Chain A
């Protein structure tokens, strides 16, 4: 597609439920990033995929968070047993490669509210 597509755009879930957030990056972009933006905070790195390499999961805040990237394209971020502190905007970005010299294209994000 023309841009990075994320779905859903908004998700309200009950505490304790699992959620899946989807990111469809720009075709041909080998690098894919997930970030989280909590209210009043800067963007926080979660996970990075580059081609077929093992992902860098060092930013995932707990073992309730996991992510996959199937076929080097679409990525899914899963949060199990959601907590209220998980409420945030989850942003996905992709880039042509991992160098960043070609810039990043961000999706519009998924606003997650845990009630």
Chain B
């Protein structure tokens, strides 16, 4: 079993829809990252979370440490949001390695 599981694997949405991508992990962590990988491979850091909730524009990320679960939400989705969204966890204190989920491929249709 992977230490980081994402769902769904693939997601197709109509423009304007509210999107939720989920990430569950099985180990103790010090932080969780959400990354965005565009077609062509470039990866961008979206959020780093160790507790609570963060918001940036139309993107919202939440984490529940007790439940070992995080969600990434996109409000008013747009075709330019089409990308692979990757959840990565940083193991408990002292570690710098990231363990990655396999990603969720999002396609937003006009």
Contacts and interface: CB of A to CB of B under 8 A. Distances in A.
Contacts, number: 58
Contact of B103 (A42, A59, A103): A42
Interface in B65-110: 86, 88, 90, 96-103
B48 A100 contact: yes
Contact of A109 (B2, B41, B98): B41
Contact of A48 (B40, B90, B97): B97
Interface residues of A, number: 27
A35 B43 CA distance: 12
B96 A50 contact: yes
Interface majority SS (helix, strand, loop, mixed), chain A = strand
A33 B97 CA distance: 9
Nearest to A41: B102
Contact of B90 (A31, A100, A109): A100
Nearest to A103: B45
B45 A105 contact: yes
Contacts of B41: 89, 91, 108-109, 111
A106 interface: yes
B33 to A, nearest CB: 7
B31 A100 contact: yes
Contacts of A35: 100
Given A48-B96, A91-B43, A98-B96, A43 B88 contact: yes
B42 interface: yes
Interface of B: 2, 4, 31, 33, 35, 40-45, 48, 86, 88, 90, 96-103
Interface of A: 31, 33, 35, 40-45, 48, 50, 56, 59, 89, 91, 93, 98-101, 103-106, 108-109, 111
